[in-house]
Amino acid sequence: MKKKMVIGVLGAALVFGGAFAVGAADNDDVRTTTTAKNEKTVLSTDEVKKIALQEVAGTVEEIELERKSDKVVYEVDVEKDDVDYDLSIDAYSGEIYAIDRDDHDDDDVHSSNTDHNNQNIISQADAIEIAEKAVNGKMVKIEKDEDDGLITYEVELKTDRGEAEVDIDASTGKVLDVEWDN
């Protein structure tokens, strides 16, 4: 009687163990398949170069693929008129996260692209040019902002008169407001 009971317990253990192993193997296949379907493709350096040059018309000096926090980005160095621009571009979507400008006067400036919808708007480089002409200054910081459906660039500049903030309509390039901080 004891032998039959031991054999029964061992048999049941083998059946349950085998079923568990088959179930675990099936789950691994599902995860692998799902992961393969969700995999993203990294943009090519040619695509990234094109995106960077649309934002800053100049000469691409270097393109590096880097991992920052939980993101994979291309760091692109562009030179235009003796000014260096460092662009951070999402390696998958092509979204521009930031533009750093260094005109070699030891004042690094930073801009941030926070809007994901870049349809029918001027580039940050165009907004910088408009703002610099409007107040005869140099850009320190630029941010894209949306308020009540209107997308604007808020550009902070250093001038001979002090600091200025210029608001520009991102659709038309029109200067909406100039504020001076003396």
Residue 130 confidence (pLDDT) = 93
Strands 175-181 and 96-102: unpaired
- Fold assignment, 45-181: Nuclear Transport Factor 2; Chain: A, (3.10.450)
Task: Please give the C-alpha separations between residue 153 and each of 1, 66, 88, 95, 141, in angstroms, as whole numbers.
Answer: 87, 28, 18, 17, 10
Residue 33 confidence (pLDDT) = 38
- Please count the other Cβ atoms lying within 10 Å of the Cβ belonging to residue 174: 11
Instruction: For 92-144, write each residue's pLDDT tens digit.
Output: 999 888 787 776 554 444 555 544 444 588 988 899 999 999 999 998 888 88
Residue 173 confidence (pLDDT) = 92
Residue 131 confidence (pLDDT) = 92
* Regions in the chain scoring below 70 on pLDDT: 1-39, 103-119, 182
Q: How far apart are CA 34 and CA 27, in angstroms?
A: 11
Residue 30 confidence (pLDDT) = 36
Residue 31 confidence (pLDDT) = 38
Residue 146 confidence (pLDDT) = 79
Residue 61 confidence (pLDDT) = 85
- Residue ranges per structural domain of the chain: 1-39, 45-181
Q: Which helix H or strand E contains 168, and what residues bound it?
A: strand 162-169
Instruction: Please answer whether residues 110 and 100 qualify as being in contact, where contact means their C-beta atoms are separated by less than 8 angstroms.
Output: yes
Task: Please give the C-alpha separations between residue 15 and each of 1, 4, 29, 67, in angstroms, as whole numbers.
Answer: 21, 16, 21, 47
Residue 84 confidence (pLDDT) = 84
